[in-house]
C-alpha cells in the first residue's frame, strides 16, 4: 500500500524526533510500527488484521490506535469504489482526537 507524508510526521518517522514534538518516545515507536504496517499492507484488510491497531473510520478520517490515548489519524484517497486505495496520508497523532500533532 502506498503512503505519503504531507507534514512533519515524515521527520518524526525518519528520525524519531521533530521540532515541537512532545510525544512520548514509546508512542513514537508505535507510530513507526504503524507506518510499517501500512507500508507492508496490500489492502485495508491487512491493516485490520492487526486487532491491536483497532483500525476504524471516524467521521471523514481513519484511525489506528497506538495505545489507549494516542491515535494515528490518516486519510485515504481512493481510485474508485471497486478498487483498493491509491494513497494513504498520515495526518496527525492525536490524544483521542483532541490534542493533535502536527
Rg (alpha carbons) of the chain, rounded to whole number:
13
- Proportion of the chain above pLDDT 70, given as a percent: 95
**pLDDT tens digits for range 64-92:** 999 999 999 999 887 776 665 678 899 99
Domains annotated on the chain, with CATH: 9-101 (3.30.2310.20)
Q: What CA–CA distance (Å, rounded) separates 76 from 24?
A: 26
Grid cell, residue 42, equals 496490500
Does the pLDDT at position 61 exceed 80? yes
Q: Answer yes or no: pTM beyond 0.85.
A: yes
Q: Which helix (H) or strand (E) holds 92?
A: strand 85-95
Q: How does the average pLDDT of the chain come out, rounded?
A: 89
Amino acid at each position: 500500500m502506498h503512503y505519503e507524508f504531507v507534514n512533519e510526521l515524515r521527520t518524526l518517522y525518519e528520525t524519531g524526533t521533530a521540532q515541537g514534538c512532545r510525544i512520548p518516545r514509546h508512542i513514537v515507536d508505535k507510530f513507526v510500527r504503524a507506518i510499517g504496517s501500512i507500508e507492508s499492507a496490500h489492502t485495508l484488510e491487512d491493516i485490520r488484521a492487526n486487532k491491536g491497531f483497532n483500525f476504524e473510520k471516524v467521521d471523514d478520517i481513519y484511525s489506528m490506535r497506538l495505545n489507549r490515548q494516542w491515535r494515528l489519524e490518516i486519510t485515504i484517497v481512493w481510485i474508485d469504489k471497486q478498487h483498493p486505495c491509491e494513497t494513504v496520508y498520515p495526518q496527525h497523532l492525536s490524544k483521542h482526537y483532541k490534542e493533535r500533532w502536527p
